[in-house]
Amino acid sequence: MKHRRVLAASTLWLALSAPAMALAQAPKASEVPSPADTYGELFHQVQMRKLFPDGKTFVDATPRRSPAQILAAYRAHAAFTDAELKRFVHANFVVPLSAPLPPPSKDRTTLKAHIAALWPVLTRPPVEAVDGGSALPLDKPFVVPGGRFREMYYWDSYFTMLGLAADGRQDAVESMVDDFGGLIDRYGHIPNGTRSYYLSRSQPPFYFAMVGLADKTDKARFKQRVDLMRREHAFWMDGEKTLAPGQAYRRVVALPDGAILNRYADDRTTPRDESYREDVLTARAVTNRPAGEVFRDLRSGAESGWDFSSRWMADGKSLKTIQTTAILPVDLNALLFGLETAIAQGCADLADAPCVAEFSGRAKARRTAMDAYLWDAPRGLYLDYQWRERTRLDHPSAATLYPLFVGAASPDQAKAVAATTRALLLAPGGLRTTTVATGQQWDTPNGWAPMQWVAVSGLRRYGEEDLARDIGQRWLATVAREYKASGKMLEKYDVEEAKAGGGGEYPLQDGFGWTNGVTRALLDLYPAPG
């Protein structure tokens, strides 16, 4: 009886939310439906009852027959206990098992050798879409992060490619750049990952940096990739020409002086398919805002890649105060400066003068706006900006190094950021993500591979070699220590104690694409003695 009461209560919640959810869940013409769209009440029950420990399991399942047949069979059954519903799911779907983990290295070969051996383990073949399934089609092989992450992810892949390039796997780099170009061509943007439930959002825009790792000798292919960068830029800037000062549309915000900067903003106002139950429970705990606003901010936090962090919380502590769409992030705007600069350079190589003029002008205007709104001279760092309240947020984070990574900082700004980084963010085991501990995975004590590379690369760009080397060598020592202890390459690490990281919505993952890539690239910069 207990589970039948849960069914009734959950159905009531869904019914009360139905008008708003139906509107938000209607897929755009360029999108395919997500599992929540396709399976409706069945999906809701499976996720809310937590039939699987990981909410991502069911959304990655492949139907054994058509969705219409599955739903007809589901509706023909008056009610399900948990056990009955789980049997129904297994009878109608191929449910993914936990992804096979790379075998821990028993002989503890060198890190370089271990990473090289992991690339085949993490490589997946091309994908064909299945009716009712969530996997998006991909034409060429690709490398996944590992663990629960069975598909190709946007920003992860740039850092993974660093290691592929260092290991002479240019074929894999080109293949993945082509796959990402295919996503832009098909959907108008690169989704968070290659699943239908990720289509309403993107991730930190690193495609231009991926193109920077790719071959440029084939002029026709290079031109095609520059054109794809321009299409991605148009996605991020959609709506800019119609905004009055103080207004926002999708990912664009017009500031009071007319300057334009960007935010993260998922296009939907529903719970994330892959974290459905978690999002529903978070929204229920918020009493002062509509659920749709909370859902969008949670989704937008996922678009940032920093899901989740004190950066996005109004009180700097609690997920219930998440306000992602109210924030103009340092890292996003720095990356868009990098994209604009890369387009201008690409167009110069292609002798397209009007394009050079447009995107050089865009980059210059963005840099001016970043200096006005995101640069805190007294503190010596870049900070996120709360555009609704017109205030800079006092949340120091590793994002302050992104303007150095893309060349948007002046020499004096870079020098100040370096000093602040050493004072606030340098930990015994590498670079801290933030300076506060909230239990969220993108806060201290965790450090992440992409942040180490952004910092090292950006600091080296401005001649801050000593700090770059210090960060890089501390990180390598942390990774090596854990590898020696467990034989594993992990998703994140505790850089305070140089051990495995923690926090977040799911268990610590092993694999791991971007850790492998960054570690491999850093080993070329800072070889271990002996």
Selected residue with higher pLDDT from 148 and 415: 415
pLDDT (0 to 100) of residue 107: 73
The closest alpha carbon to 31, from 197, 153, 274, 228, belongs to 197
Helix then strand count (H, E) for the chain reads 19, 17
Which residue bears the tokens 């009531």? Answer: 12
What's at 404, amino acid-wise?
L
Q: What confidence score (pLDDT) does residue 221 get?
A: 97
Q: Tens of pLDDT along 294-320?
A: 999 999 999 999 999 999 999 999 999
User: For 30-51, what is the mean pLDDT?
Assistant: 93
- Does residue 39 surpass a pLDDT of 90? yes
More confident residue, 147 or 514: 514
Question: Nearest 5°: phi and psi at 15?
Answer: -65, -40
Instruction: Please report, rounded to a whole number, the percentage of residues in the chain having pLDDT higher than 70.
Output: 91
Architecture of domain 111-525: Alpha/alpha barrel (1.50)
Structure tokens at 153: 């992810």
Q: Please, are residues 169 and 121 in contact by the beta-carbon 8 Å criterion? A: no
Token pair belonging to 470:
């210090």
Domain ranges for the chain: 2-94, 111-525
State mean pLDDT over 264-291: 97
Three-class secondary structure of residue 25 per DSSP: helix
For 496-525, the pLDDT digits (tens) are 998 888 776 656 667 899 999 999 999 999
By annotation, the residues acting in catalysis are: 307, 491
The pLDDT of residue 21 is: 36
SS3 state at 94: strand
* CA 442 – CA 316 distance, rounded (Å): 12
Please name the residue that has the structure tokens 């939310």.
17
Closest CA to 183 of 215, 223, 219, 139: 139
Contact 98, 53 (CB under 8 A): no
- Across the range 464-476, mean pLDDT stands at 98
Q: Are 50 and 299 in contact (CB under 8 A)?
A: no
Alpha carbon of 323 to those of 153, 296, 494: distances in Å?
A: 24, 9, 26
Separation CA 369–CA 257 (nearest Å):
10
Confidence of residue 199 (pLDDT cuts 50, 70, 90): very high
Question: What whole-number distance in Å separates Cα of residue 274 and Cα of residue 307?
Answer: 13
Going across the sheet that includes 248-249, the strands are 248-249, 252-254, 260-262
* Listed range (110-124, 337-351, 505-519) with the worst mean pLDDT: 505-519
Q: Residues, the chain, total?
A: 530
CA dihedral 277, 283, 286, 289 (to 10 degrees): 180
Integer Cα distance of 300 and 399 in angstroms: 17
Which pLDDT band, with edges at 50, 70 and 90, does 233 fall under? very high
Mean pLDDT, residues 204-231 taken together: 97
Whether residue 383 is predicted with pLDDT greater than 60 in this model: the reply is yes
Distance CA 430, CA 392 (A): 26
The amino acid that residue 525 corresponds to is: L
Q: How confident is the model at residue 7 (pLDDT cuts 50, 70, 90)?
A: very low
User: Who has greater pLDDT, 306 or 10?
Assistant: 306
pLDDT digits 0-9 by tens, 73-108? 999 998 999 999 999 999 999 999 865 555 666 677
pLDDT digits (tens, 9 = 90+) for 435-448: 999 999 999 999 99
The pLDDT of residue 102: 59
pLDDT digits (tens, 9 = 90+) for 389-399: 999 999 999 99
Whole-angstrom CA distances from 180 to 123, 206, 223 are: 15, 11, 15
Dist. CA 273–CA 258, nearest whole Å:
36
Residue 226, judged by CB atoms within 10 A of its CB (0-12, 13-18, 19+), counts as: buried
For the chain, percent of residues with pLDDT exceeding 90: 87
User: DSSP assignment, residue 427?
Assistant: E
Q: 471-486 pLDDT, tens per residue?
A: 999 999 999 999 999 8
